[in-house]
Amino acid sequence: MKIKFLGGASEVGRLGMLMDDRFLFDYGFSPSKPPKYPLMASNAEVVFLSHCHVDHSGMIPLVCRKYNPKVLATSATAMLAELLATDSLKVCKYEGYPAPYKKSDIRSAMKNFEIIRYSDSVNVNGLRLRFHSAGHIPGSTMFEFNDSLFTSDLNTIDTQLVYGAKPVKCRNLFIEGTYSGREHPPRKEVENSFLEKIDEVVERGGKVIIPVFAVGRTQEVLMLLRNSGHEVWLDGMGKAVSRIFLENPDYLRSPKGLRNAMNKTKIVHSELGRKYALKGDVIVATSGMMDGGPVLGYMKHLKDDKNNAVLLTGYQVEGSNGRMLLDRKKLNFSGVTEPVNCGVEYFDFSAHCGHKELVGFVHGCEPENVIIYHSDDRKPLKNSLNEYNVHTPENNEVIEI
């Protein structure tokens, strides 16, 4: 087979892998400022969409308009991809960047989706396919085709939301390498110290603000907090995502647990609700890197009281508002940079394998060839995989396997 990455080979973001000029695995853009787009696909008969994050799904409406391919994805991924594509049009408009497609393209792309389930085994345009959970977020999928496996974003540890992914025997393994060379602390330790920190802040009379990604992290944090006894408020796009997760219970580790967490959470619906939320103990709000969303409005009220604390729960990329908060204790509010005096802490709730889990997964798959992508430093992972033929192609480079 002939493989070409259209984006996301030696970088985290804008992933697209074209196989034999017919099959496209994921097709997304990086939501940076300005957004970074992948190379144009020369053709696409079928798109295999692993999950909804825009760096994997954000270009689907465009490729559907151009080539009218089938798009294979789980029901959760399809519904969330529509929500996130619609949201990214709003973000483009707000930030003043040209949008890659129109709202009508999103609507018509949804007609191209063919819904798959993990237990399915099907033939599509000459490929024998099976689908497996990637353990990354609910509905995320690894594609097994012929004697190959495409993992896309991968997590092998159990989280509140999903069970970890299991290796699949294959000859060619296409694996992400986001955390090549970096490890995560044990999840249980992270969860415990996170909950202890929240108790400590509330006991000293402070309020906790938790910036979260809408998909996955919001729901994971709410599930963790469901027995904490604190008054927890939720604001932002995580509300709509939680509804979609609950409409697709097959993809949750515990639908009951998430339903219970949502029942115990107070939801902000209006400006008045925001005032009430500021009187509670904990506010969970988007966006996760604090580059927009309701979280900034809350921070404006809470940032100057030393008793309060902001707990970051996801990786903060270089150049993001959250990165500036971590490094310099400052935040940008609509163009004005202001100091932050409340507590600031980071907790590593990653939805990606750390280095040793990636290596363990490769061993479990027993492949001959390993192709690493979705990583800005593939060397450490490559060095840990001496016994395999490891490929680290660049974007636009064609390799034959």
Is 105 in contact with 88 (CB distance < 8 Å)? no
CB neighbours of 361 closer than 8 A, spacing ≥ 6?
A: 151, 154, 156, 165, 167, 175, 353
Q: How far is the CB of 364 from Zn ion (least distance, A)?
A: 21
Strand segments, DSSP code E, in 295-375 are: 309-312, 330-333, 336-339, 343-346, 369-373
Piece of 60-68, 123-131, 153-161, 378-386 that binds Zn ion (CB under 5 A): 153-161
Q: How far is the CB of 29 from Zn ion (least distance, A)?
A: 12
Closest of 183, 156, 180 to residue 168, by C-alpha: 156
Name residue 114's beta-bridge partners.
Answer: 72
The nearer residue to Zn ion, 153 or 235, going by C-beta atoms, is 153
CA atoms within 13 A on the CB side of 9: 19
User: Is 235 a binder of Zn ion (CB under 5 A)?
Assistant: no
User: Is 11 a binder of Zn ion (CB under 5 A)?
Assistant: no
The nearer residue to Zn ion, 57 or 265, going by C-beta atoms, is 57
- Cα–Cα dist 391/180, whole Å: 14
Q: How far is the CB of 370 from Zn ion (least distance, A)?
A: 18
Binding-site member from 25, 31, 35, 53 for Zn ion (CB under 5 A): 53
Q: How far is the CB of 38 from Zn ion (least distance, A)?
A: 13
Is 236 in contact with 287 (CB distance < 8 Å)? yes
Is 182 in contact with 250 (CB distance < 8 Å)? no
The nearer residue to Zn ion, 206 or 216, going by C-beta atoms, is 216
- Cα–Cα dist 235/149, whole Å: 38
User: Is 352 a binder of Zn ion (CB under 5 A)?
Assistant: no
Binding-site member from 11, 105, 153, 281 for Zn ion (CB under 5 A): 153
The nearer residue to Zn ion, 13 or 206, going by C-beta atoms, is 13
The nearer residue to Zn ion, 153 or 281, going by C-beta atoms, is 153
Q: How far is the CB of 303 from Zn ion (least distance, A)?
A: 29
Pairing relationship of beta strands 141-145 and 127-133 according to DSSP bridges: antiparallel
- The DSSP string of 84-153 is HHHHHHHHHHHHTPPPSS-HHHHHHHGGGEEE--TT-EEEETTEEEEEEE-SSSTT-EEEEETTEEE--S
Q: How far is the CB of 153 from Zn ion (least distance, A)?
A: 4
Is 5 in contact with 395 (CB distance < 8 Å)? yes
Piece of 145-153, 160-168, 277-285, 323-331 that binds Zn ion (CB under 5 A): 145-153
User: Is 281 a binder of Zn ion (CB under 5 A)?
Assistant: no
The nearer residue to Zn ion, 137 or 282, going by C-beta atoms, is 137
The nearer residue to Zn ion, 85 or 277, going by C-beta atoms, is 85
Closest of 188, 351, 161 to residue 256, by C-alpha: 161
User: Is 82 a binder of Zn ion (CB under 5 A)?
Assistant: no
Q: How far is the CB of 51 from Zn ion (least distance, A)?
A: 6
Q: How far is the CB of 53 from Zn ion (least distance, A)?
A: 4
Q: How far is the CB of 395 from Zn ion (least distance, A)?
A: 15
- What tokens does 345 get? 């802490």
Distance of CA 156 to the CA centre of its chain: 15
Piece of 147-155, 224-232, 276-284, 333-341 that binds Zn ion (CB under 5 A): 147-155
Residues forming contacts to Zn ion in the complex (CB under 5 A) are: 53, 55, 153
